[in-house]
Chains A and B, each alone.
Chain A
Amino acid sequence: MVDEETLDGNAIGGLLMEVFGTDMTTAVATCGSCGAASQVAELPVYMPGLGTVARCRSCQSVLMVFTEVRRVTCVDLMGLASLSYGPN
């Protein structure tokens, strides 16, 4: 699944800062499908042009989707069981 176009969660640090108001690259994302937990910076990220997708590192489920429509960022976190911010 990881091909040479795949980025990682570092690449969406700026976008996440806009959405959450703080750095989220060290936040822990827990997959709603398989339960795997990892830091956001470690998630595979795809930016095909229409939007931005972050997947689970273990089962590849879609965790987060960001799309921008007329300067409004739409955020879909349905794939996450939790996104916890704090010392880890």
Chain B
Amino acid sequence: MAGTAVRGRLSTWQTATVGPVTDETPKVRTLRLEVPEWPGHRAGQHVDIRLTADDGYQAERAYSIASAPGEPLAITVERLDDGEVSPYLTEEARTGDQLEVRGPIGGYFVWEPGSDSGGPLLLAAGGSGIVPLRAIVRERSRAGSSVPVRLLYSSRSWEDVIYSTEFGLPPGGVEVIYTLTRSQPRMWQGYARRVDDQMLAEVAWPTADRPLAYVCGPTNFVESVAAGLVKLGYPAGRVKTERFGATGG
């Protein structure tokens, strides 16, 4: 296929105003974004955020949408110490600040009630990979879906667990299984290692149930979980993946 040049990338960026901000963990924040012409979004989609410095330098990054369709647009952002965008979003952004947003984006890593054959959902998150999966769980509740869900959530420590209050009392039919890879609270009874084939064999729905899997997180996490599920017999087409790279967004 031939190459071409596309002039002008002006049309799809919109101005967003930062709304209420919620601290989730010491390094993670949820920001409501008010976008006047927001067309609505689907669970699992993301937005691109663009910041422009005084000298005109621009940096943009993708962030998963944390809210369900029908809820106000919100993103959850983890601070990366050497990041160009996340330190601003997690430390400096205040209610009323303005930034540029493009989206909603994506049609692959998306879940909609009834859009599939009805098998149970296996959701697997590494770190801030939980964000789009949280939108999926909320959408399931909002839409009144009863599809059974198992959510396997890998974090470094309990202090790093995002949405711990929300998932501490999950909706009926949703089971949350944690693994803490670096440190664990005293008396911790959950998993305490990286997700491996043995853990997947214990947690994942049997293939006979025709499960559908969504895996999101750092690239190494996603590669390893997706490969493990395929080894268990999940068809590759039933394992949807989204990779954040080395750092998790």
Residue ranges of A at the interface with B (Cβ–Cβ < 8 Å): 2-11, 13-14, 17-19, 23, 25-26, 32, 39-42, 71-78, 80-83
Chain B residue at minimal CB-CB distance from A11: B62
**A14→B107 contact, CB < 8 A:** no
Check A17–B105 contact: CB distance below 8 A.
yes
B218 sits at the interface (CB 8 A): yes
Instruction: Report whether B3 and A75 are in contact in the complex, using a CB–CB cutoff of 8 Å.
Output: yes
B1 contacts chain A at the CB level, 8 A cutoff: yes
- 10 A-B pairs within 8 Å (CB atoms) are namely A7-B245, A13-B107, A25-B105, A26-B107, A32-B1, A40-B108, A71-B9, A72-B6, A73-B9, A75-B6
Q: How far is the CA of A41 from the CA of B5 in the complex (A)?
A: 22
Find chain A residues with CB under 8 A from B102 CB. 14, 17-18
Q: With contacts A14-B62, A75-B4 known, is A6 near B219, CB below 8 A?
A: yes
B103 at interface, CB cutoff 8 A: yes
Inter-chain CA distance A25–B60, complex, in Å, is: 19
Q: Are the C-beta atoms of A7 and B243 separated by less than 8 Å? A: yes
A77–B243 Cα distance when bound, in Å, is: 23
Summed over the interface, the residue pairs from A and B with CB atoms below 8 Å come to a total of 101
Asked if A14 and B108 make an inter-chain contact with CB atoms under 8 angstroms apart, the answer reads: no
Instruction: A72 to B60: give the CA distance in the assembly, Å.
Output: 16
Please report which residues of chain B, range 229-249, place their CB below 8 angstroms from some CB of chain A when the two chains form the complex. Answer: 240-246
Query: What CA separation (Å) do A75 and B241 show in the bound complex?
Result: 25
Smallest beta-carbon distance B117→chain A, Å:
16
B207: chain A residues within 8 A (beta carbon): none
Apart from A18-B9, A18-B102, A75-B5, 11 more pairs, CB < 8 Å: A5-B246, A10-B62, A10-B108, A11-B243, A14-B47, A17-B102, A18-B11, A18-B12, A25-B109, A41-B108, A74-B4
Count of chain B residues with a beta carbon within 8 Å of a chain A beta carbon = 34
Residue of A nearest to B11 (CB): A18
Provide the bound-state CA to CA distance between A30 and B2, in Å: 14
User: Which partner residue on chain B sits nearest A10 by CB separation?
Assistant: B242
Give the 6 A-B residue pairs with the shortest CB-CB distance, closest first: A41-B108, A77-B1, A13-B105, A76-B3, A14-B48, A25-B108
Bound Cα distance from A26 to B244, whole angstroms? 18
- Taking the closest CB of chain A, its distance from the CB of B27, in whole angstroms, is 19
- Establish whether residues B108 and A26, one from each chain, have CB atoms under 8 Å apart when the complex forms: yes
* Given known A18-B9, A72-B7, contact A6–B1 (CB-CB < 8 A): no
| A35 CA / B4 CA spacing, docked (Å) | 23
A4-B219, A8-B241, A14-B103 known; A19+B6 contact, CB < 8 A: yes
Distance to closest chain B CB from A60 (angstroms): 15
The residue that A2 contacts in the complex, of B7, B47, B103, B219, with Cβ under 8 A, is B219
Min Cβ gap A69→B in Å is: 9
- Give which listed residue, A18, A32, A78, A83, contacts B3 with CB less than 8 A: A78
A6 engages B245 (CB within 8 Å)? yes
Q: Measured between C-beta atoms, what is the minimum distance from B233 to chain A in Å?
A: 19
Given known A10-B106, A18-B12, A26-B108, contact A82–B5 (CB-CB < 8 A): no
Question: Interface code B34-67, partner A: CB below 8 Å = 1, 0 otherwise?
Answer: 0000000000001110000000000010100000
